[in-house]
Chain A
């Protein structure tokens, strides 16, 4: 590196912003809080929509009987595939809860 390059590098490395600028950091912190609130709201809405769909499904099952066909009757002998409607409901609910848990963990809101 020549002396001229050295002078230029020194000029480039002189800071032009204050060290530990609280005002700037506070702006970022407020924006992070806003994004976190929005993400929480979106997640809540998604969960509520999922639960509403489940409720509609449960109501339909109660009114019209099991929505899924009884596979044991279709193919005979496969009793294990004949799943009662409440179990389908519970499985879907568990799936939704698992999705919410993994989403919260991905965002770092649940530790461990």
Chain B
């Protein structure tokens, strides 16, 4: 891999990849794989499946790259492809995003509060206990920093449902991770 590609701005690498340059596309995969895999790992309950879906997302991106209009929009465009791949997989598995599992009252023992890797594992465990819709909305809101409107558009859900999923899911996570108001 040439040093030029590694240090080039992403929009330049995207523009090069759009012309069919495989080295440029490889560089984009290297740069973006972490974000895409993290997103899908939080949405799936299974890391191996998440990595398979991430690979599918990159292949779809490679096929559709010539149709991308703005190289600067690559990150958001790739995220929407990854979300579509996950949604297709969820539909195949019969997951309904609008559904609320109503388990707010069924609060399990809170997992202990740790820092670093253990806290992340606790978060994953807590995420696994949420409904698919709550997990999707919370991940897009907290990890991706998307607004309620953006999440509603990406998830094809009404804004009200998105707000309710975020509120209920957030409440469950706070209980399970034993995070109270004023904690840091």
Contact = CB atoms under 8 A, between A and B. Distances in A.
Contact of A7 (B38, B59, B62, B179): B179
Contact of B26 (A9, A25, A111): A25
B59 A32 contact: yes
15 contacts: A3-B183, A4-B180, A5-B142, A8-B123, A11-B123, A12-B123, A14-B120, A17-B38, A20-B31, A22-B30, A24-B54, A27-B55, A32-B25, A32-B59, A106-B66
Interface of A: 2-9, 11-22, 24-25, 27-29, 31-33, 35-36, 106-109, 111
A12 B72 CA distance: 25
Given A8-B142, A32-B25, A17 B41 contact: yes
Nearest to A20: B30
Contact of A29 (B26, B170, B180, B184): B26
A9 B142 contact: yes
Contacts of A2: 181
Contacts of B182: 3-4
B82 interface: no
- Report the contact-size class of chain B (Cβ under 8 Å from the partner): 35 or more
A15 B66 contact: no
Contact of B38 (A15, A32, A109): A15
Contact of B42 (A12, A18, A19, A27): A12
Interface of B: 18-20, 22, 25-26, 29-31, 33-34, 37-38, 41-42, 51, 54-55, 58-59, 62-63, 65-66, 116, 119-120, 123-124, 138-139, 142-143, 170, 173-174, 177, 179-184
A5 B41 CA distance: 21
Contact of B22 (A13, A22, A29): A29
A107 B66 contact: yes
B143 A13 contact: yes
A40 B65 CA distance: 18
Main secondary structure of the interface of A (DSSP, over half): helix
Contacts of A18: 34
Nearest to B37: A17
A107 B25 CA distance: 14
Nearest to B122: A11
Nearest to A112: B19
Contact of B179 (A8, A24, A33, A108): A8
